Amino acid sequence: MDNATRHVPTPQTRRKRPSGMHHH
């Protein structure tokens, strides 16, 4: 279920770059 976690906006990713996730 790694794919699902990657798709989900985790707190770590959001803190790293909130805009990056959306751009990806």
pLDDT at residue 19, rounded to an integer: 62
Q: Tell me, letter by letter, the H, E, C secondary structure of 1-24.
A: CHHHHHHCCCHHHHHHCHHHHHHC
Global confidence as pTM: 0.13
pLDDT at residue 13, rounded to an integer: 60
- State the Rg of the chain over Cα: 8
pLDDT in tens, the chain (24 residues): 566 556 666 666 666 666 666 555
Question: CA–CA separation, 17 vs 1, rounded Å?
Answer: 23
